[in-house]
Amino acid sequence: MQVFSVPKSIKQNSNFTFCSGCDHGVAIKLVAQTIDELNLQDETIAIASSGCSVLLYDFLDVDCLEAPHGRACAVATGVKRAHKAMGNNKFVFTYQGDGDFASIGLAESMHSALRGENITAICINNTNYGMTGGQLGPTTALGQITTTSPKGRNIEYHGFPIKTAEQIALCDGVSYSARVALYDIKNIINAKNSIKKAFEYQKKGLGFSFVEILSSCPTNWKLSPKKSHEKIKNELTNIYPLGVFKDINND
Ligand SMILES: Cc1ncc(C[n+]2csc(CCOP(=O)(O)OP(=O)(O)O)c2C)c(N)n1
């Protein structure tokens, strides 16, 4: 894996428009490296969602569409199927936030997985609604303070957070479901391997593949980038364990 070069499928000279310390940059670079390695640039259609993940199309040099909030998997389904009907074998993946994938879009996401749509979904889990100012989201941890849970998330009032990768793994149409993180080099390499496997499974026509990426949100967490990574390593991975929850080739 080339770690320091700019992937071919990253737009050259693009300015970094995420907050400092945000993991989106690393996630997008891993996606681009995988697209390069699998030689997918010309056949890829990326579906970006509402939220910080929409900025994907500022960086990724492939065909991109923006879906309405929560509808990325539904749009991806239509794009993939319509092209298939025309005899085009497009590579289609979504790039979504956790609010988009697992709250407003939960029905679209879950039913795409249940139907075994031959698409890949990547969910950036930063445990809040990042773009709109750090509100409580479906993955906000118990006790976590957000702008809409100033006393911390509590079970009685807000209910439990969703463990997306585990839930998606329960759907029969799923070929692969994993949760990864980006807080150190070892985990970045693991994340890259998971993205590659998810993409390869779509190429092999095995059904819905999914990667949840635990990501930092220093601005809304009100922590430094370094402390944000420590929070993921020491706190969030206890709530959201890293690992592969379904792999159709190893089940
Ligand atoms: C139908 C609809 N409802 C609400 C919004 C406002 N909105 C835009 S982004 C967003 C939150 C996104 O959170 P998440 O999906 O977790 O992504 P993040 O910004 O954290 O990456 C919301 C509520 C919208 N654009 N459309």
- Which residues pair with residue 208 across a beta bridge? 174
Q: Residue 16: count other Cβ atoms within 10 Å of its Cβ.
A: 12
Indicate whether 17 belongs to any domain.
no
Domain extent at residue 175:
24-247
Rounded CA-CA distance 107/42 in Å is 30
Number of domains, the chain: 1
For residue 234, the domain's CATH number is 3.40.50.970
Indicate whether 148 belongs to any domain.
yes
Indicate whether 73 belongs to any domain.
yes
pLDDT in tens, 85-108: 999 999 999 999 999 999 999 999
Beta carbons of 175 and 200 less than 8 angstroms apart: no
pLDDT in tens, 116-140: 999 999 999 999 999 999 999 999 9
Q: Say yes or no: CB of residue 187 within 6 Å of ligand 1.
A: no
Indicate whether 6 belongs to any domain.
no
Q: Say yes or no: CB of residue 53 within 6 Å of ligand 1.
A: yes
- CA distance from start to end of the chain: 27
Find the mean pLDDT for residues 203-218: 98
Q: What is the pLDDT of residue 113?
A: 98
Lowest-confidence segment of 2-6, 56-60, 139-143, 155-159 by average pLDDT: 2-6
Nearest to 248 by CA among 163, 162, 191, 171: 171
Indicate whether 90 belongs to any domain.
yes
Indicate whether 89 belongs to any domain.
yes
Rounded CA-CA distance 103/50 in Å is 12
Mutational test site, ligand 1, from 122, 132, 146, 219, max ligand atoms within 8 Å of CB? 132
Tell me how far the alpha carbon of residue 51 lies from the centroid of ligand 1, in angstroms: 5
Q: How confident is the model at residue 4 (pLDDT cuts 50, 70, 90)?
A: low
Tell me how far the alpha carbon of residue 125 lies from the centroid of ligand 1, in angstroms: 13
Is the pTM higher than 0.95? The answer reads yes
Q: How confident is the model at residue 250 (pLDDT cuts 50, 70, 90)?
A: confident
Q: What is the pLDDT of residue 149?
A: 97
State both tokens at 74.
């539904």
Q: How confident is the model at residue 3 (pLDDT cuts 50, 70, 90)?
A: low
pLDDT in tens, 17-71: 999 999 999 999 999 999 999 999 999 999 999 999 999 999 999 999 999 999 9
Mutational test site, ligand 1, from 124, 131, 164, max ligand atoms within 8 Å of CB? 131
Q: Say yes or no: CB of residue 105 within 6 Å of ligand 1.
A: no
Nearest to 65 by CA among 88, 81, 49: 49
Q: For residue 2, is pLDDT > 60?
A: no
**DSSP codes joined into one string, 81-110:** HHHHHTT---EEEEEEEHHIIIIITHHHHH
Distant-in-sequence, close-in-space partners of 136: CB < 8 Å, separation ≥ 6: 128, 129, 144, 146, 147, 148, 149, 153, 158
Indicate whether 50 belongs to any domain.
yes
Q: Say yes or no: CB of residue 69 within 6 Å of ligand 1.
A: yes
List helix spans (H) across the chain.
Answer: 24-37, 56-59, 72-85, 98-99, 106-115, 155-158, 164-169, 185-203, 218-221, 225-231, 237-239
Find the mean pLDDT for residues 226-250: 97
Indicate whether 12 belongs to any domain.
no
How many residues are listed for the chain in this entry? Answer: 251
Dmax (CA) of the chain: 54
